[in-house]
Amino acid sequence: QKRLVYGAGLASRTGRSLVFSGGVVYPGKGVESEAEAARRFLAREGYKGRVELEDLSRTTWENAAGAARRFGVRRVILVTSAYHMPRSFLAFRRAGIACLPAPTDYKVDRTPASLAWWLPSMEALRLSWKALHEYLGLLGYLVKA
């Protein structure tokens, strides 16, 4: 949601279309695409700008290829979570799309260090998993055609 709100704000300020990409990652009966959920959210919030949806992709690589193929996109302000930007940037560049990175949703803990800060936590494990996912994904994209 943070990425969507940030992207919609940028689209409003620049007068450009908002292209939201995201299909159904985990198929099931009655499951809507990420793009359709984004459209509903924007409508509920009263967003008046032009919205283009790419709702067939399941991965970042497919997001980039789908945006290029479906809308002829060649230049974008690329909005995604900061931790996901390197992999997204690479995928969009490989799809022939010039990108101006606009990261958001930074994962930063601003609380002062304490003894509890050094203890294992589920949140730290979750963030470690996300980092590993991104590093392995980036490696996979680097070797991908």
Q: pTM score > 0.75 for this model?
A: yes
Name the pLDDT band for 90 (thresholds 50, 70, 90). very high
Which stretches of 15-121 are DSSP H helices? Answer: 34-44, 60-71, 85-94
Quick one: what percent of the chain has pLDDT higher than 90? 73
* pLDDT value at 145 more than 60: no
Min mean pLDDT across 72-76, 94-98, 110-114, 124-128 is at 110-114
Q: pLDDT tens for residues 9-22?
A: 999 999 999 999 99
- Per residue in 79-89, pLDDT (tens digit) is 999 999 999 99
Which residues have C-beta within 8 Å of that of residue 93, sequence separation ≥ 6?
99
Which of the residue ranges 13-22, 27-36, 46-55, 78-87 would you say has the lowest mean pLDDT? Answer: 27-36
**Integer Cα distance of 105 and 134 in angstroms:** 15
Mean of the per-residue pLDDT values of the chain? 91
Q: What is the DSSP letter of 95?
A: T
Q: Among candidates 70, 19, 52, which has minimal Cα distance to 7? A: 19
